[in-house]
Amino acid sequence: MAPPAPSPAITATDLDAHWMGFTANRAFKSAPRLLASAKGMYYTTADGRPILDGVAGLWCVNAGHGREAITQAIAKSAATLDYAPAGFQLGHPAAFALADKLTALMPRKLERVFFTNSGSESVDTALKIALAYWQAAGETQRVRFVGRLRGYHGVGFGGMSVGGIEANRKAFGAQLLPHADHLPQTHGIAANKFSRGQPAAGGDLADALEEIVAKRGGETIAAVIVEPVAGSAGVLVPPKGYLERLRALCDKYGILLIFDEVITGFGRLGASFAIEYFGVTPDLVTMAKGLTNGAVPMGAVMMRKEIYDRVINAAQAGIEFMHGYTYGGHPLACAAGLASLEIHRSEKLADRARAMAPYFEQAVHSLRDHPHVVDVRNVGLMAGIELESRADKVGARAMEAYLDCFREGLLIRVTGDIIALSPPLIIEKGQIDEIVAKLGAALKRVA
């Protein structure tokens, strides 16, 4: 697929007004990187340079950029029904249609959908649903949550509390939610370096939940939340047996299990969801990003029918769950979601990702002997390349590689000194080769 033709240059006359999220604002505004258009596997910068997208935008453009079917669905919805609530005592057909399509992708136990606008909102919603469930069950003492160190669950108060990236909380000076504990991370085991797929060691780390139960009391814990694969922390793949053990322990103590599939959903692992890939079914699952191919903000929480039924049936007449969003289930987002799911179905994108994964694996592991590479790991069409940190500047080496790659026409993602790759699922072998060649050259230049 050829890169798109350059679009007209955009002149940024004033960058001061926009406070950019998760960005070194001063550095960016001194040398801005502006994207003007996108098609297929490529962005085009404001000055007309093609940029091969190695990260699906931000883990979300799984079907590739500029999909006409999604664009047309959004335009038709905007012209027909620009806005209608999907709640607040009103509804519209597309929200119900999308919910039905989503349940068809999941194990039969996950049969109810609550729409949100993002992964962050999905996580906070899932935590509230868990609390409401236990209130309805009469177990009002279940107010604790257990996350995992190096877990990322968005930027809401709840998600930051159960998340395990301390830097995300540091600026706010608080643990935000009062009852949150954390399992140990599963990364850093020497025997697991340069793993292909699930690493062998570390499945027993799930047993740390027993220690939290002994300390806090299992009857006080509402839910455990983990990413099946930790994406934003640098593609941390679960050890063999880890998720299965976590499921068993949650069952043992009657604790709800939440999978955060904002990144792993919609074909990223070569299956519809990590639930299917790993064969472990949680009680609730959060999603966003690939749900609409990134075209319109949208998220969702799916849950077991029993959870929905208990909350609904325990309430008196009237509103059963005091929660919702003005734009949750927005008509344009539902249109984009339905069109995106149809592309996934008709083009068999999950199957395509599964077929491409071995080639991708071989390619990314060819970087293991490059300067300062201390680990390479992968699963599906996700990979993390970890670099040795400089003693005085953690993260500087990977950021230099990021900037070098962008200059050479490749978009990667960095977190600390880990480079993450998660290309659109439409990627071809030649584009995998291009990603690895450009990244390898960058690693040598910044050595």
Residue 351 host element (H or E): helix 349-365
Q: Kindly list the domain boundaries of the chain, sorted by start residue.
A: 25-62+348-445, 71-347
Mean pLDDT across 382-397: 96
The stretch 334-347 carries a mean pLDDT of 98
Gap between the Cα atoms of 383 and 418, Å rounded: 10
Instruction: Determine the pLDDT at residue 382.
Output: 98
Query: pLDDT confidence of 177, banded at 50, 70, 90?
Result: confident
Is 175 a residue whose pLDDT tops 70?
Answer: no
- pLDDT tens-digit series, residues 111-149: 999 999 999 999 999 999 999 999 999 999 999 999 999
Mean pLDDT of the chain: 95
CA distance 28 to 98: 38
Query: In this predicted structure, what is the pLDDT of residue 211?
Result: 98
Q: Does the structure show a pLDDT above 80 at 13?
A: no
Helix (H, G, I), strand (E, B) or coil at 177: coil
Residues 169, 182: Cα–Cα separation, whole Å: 14
pLDDT recorded at residue 3: 52
Ramachandran angles phi, psi of 409, nearest 5°: 95, 30
Overall pTM > 0.85: yes
- Topology at the third CATH level for domain 71-347: Aspartate Aminotransferase; domain 2 (3.40.640)
Lookup: tokens for 43: 């962005």
Question: Which amino acid does the sequence have at 234?
Answer: G
In CATH terms, the fold of domain 25-62+348-445 is Aspartate Aminotransferase, domain 1 (3.90.1150)
60-104, pLDDT tens digit by residue? Answer: 999 999 999 999 999 999 999 999 999 999 999 999 999 999 999
pLDDT at 368 over 90: yes
From the list 340, 298, 325, 273, the residue with the least C-alpha distance to 71 is 340
Tell me the backbone φ, ψ of residue 338, rounded to 5 degrees: -65, -40
